[in-house]
Amino acid sequence: MLHSITLPVIDGLAAFEFGLLSEVFGLDRSVYSDVPAFDFRVCGLEADRPVTTQVGAQVIPAYGLEAMEHADVIAVPAAQVRPAEEYPEELLEALRRAADRGAILLSACSGAFMLGAAGLLDGRPCTTHWRYAEELQRRYPTARVDPDVLFVDDGDLVTSAGTAAGIDASLHLVRRELGSAIANVIARNMVVPPQRDGGQRQYIERPVPQVSSDALGDVLAYMEDRLAEAHSVAALAQRAHMSSRTFARRFVAETGVTPMQWLASQRVLQARLALETTDASIEEIAASCGFGSATLFRHHFTREVGIAPSAYRRSYACEVAEMLETIAATPERDLVAAH
């Protein structure tokens, strides 16, 4: 369960990546929603010692490195890339201790270099901003750096690409640990898409960019609004005023997946939310999400998520219910301090 997050900062801090991690995890949304308040702490080499940023401002962390010792997640923001030996050794040691005890390590953009300097990328799949990918691979040759993804989830190591991809990785981690309902509330209040890719694979292999064609954008919106309906490539191509062959080629070029793959992934995403938040039967969810049959639904869901719908419901629906009961029974003043 995602409960406590500590964010270590050093000189040369990137303000945007610091801000996005703080926005996702640091705000108390329990006062107006069912999102639990995280125990969020910003730490530095010393408490109250100012840290410089790349934009001429300063951040003053309220905690020293001891705040990292028991956190569920260590969220490492981007900072100016420097030689490995110039990262503070006491911070690298704190990161190693966190990894050894099983904490989740989350990096935004060039924050991956700090994890690499601590020896935590060796043999692991990871990513960073495309501009730094070759340098990260050169420094840490056993790391499996993928420059073409929004983020990589390797269990207790989640690394993201540049800038806004840190939002994608953070929301993915919330969704993975707390479910889609909570992630969607945070995304909606941030006014960002809850998920920019179409799936929930361990590796986000084909990030979906904004489509450059208004016609394709209209078709995507049309499909998303009518997930329960049957769609064919021919009918969608006609709506886009293209031939079927041209439409299919353009769709793959823009999204990285075929129209039917994109549609199936969106249906699975909707089904996840239904499994978490409703008592509808598997058959009812299959029909409402456009799968046609429970058997087809189970096939697509298991392939996309990795577990069967019934197992997913047992895990996430129970966690969401327990969390909401806890929020309802806990005085508001105690939510932020809860650990």
Active-site positions?
A: 109
Alpha carbon dihedral 273, 279, 283, 286, in 10-degree steps, equals -10
Closest to 28 measured CA to CA, from 285, 246, 336: 336
Among the listed residues 63, 39, 59, the one whose alpha carbon sits nearest the alpha carbon of residue 50: 59
* Radius of gyration, alpha carbons of the chain: 21
Per-residue 3-state assignment (H helix, E strand, C coil) for 73-88: EEEECCECCCCHHHCC
Query: How deeply is 298 buried, as exposed, middle or buried, from its count of CB atoms within 10 A (0-12, 13-18, 19+)?
Result: middle
Query: Which stretches within the chain are classed as H helix?
Result: 15-26, 89-100, 111-117, 133-139, 165-178, 180-190, 214-225, 233-239, 244-255, 259-277, 282-288, 294-305, 309-312, 318-329, 332-335
Long-range pairs, 246-249, Cβ under 8 A, ≥24: none
Distance separating alpha carbons of residues 223 and 215, to the nearest angstrom: 12
Cβ pair 240, 216 in contact under 8 A = yes
Closest to 7 (Cα-Cα) out of 106, 115, 116, 87: 106
- Residue 112 corresponds to which tokens in the numbers above? 């991956």
The CA distance from 65 to 81, in Å, is 21
Both tokens of residue 200?
A: 């929930």
Which tokens belong to 273?
């939310």
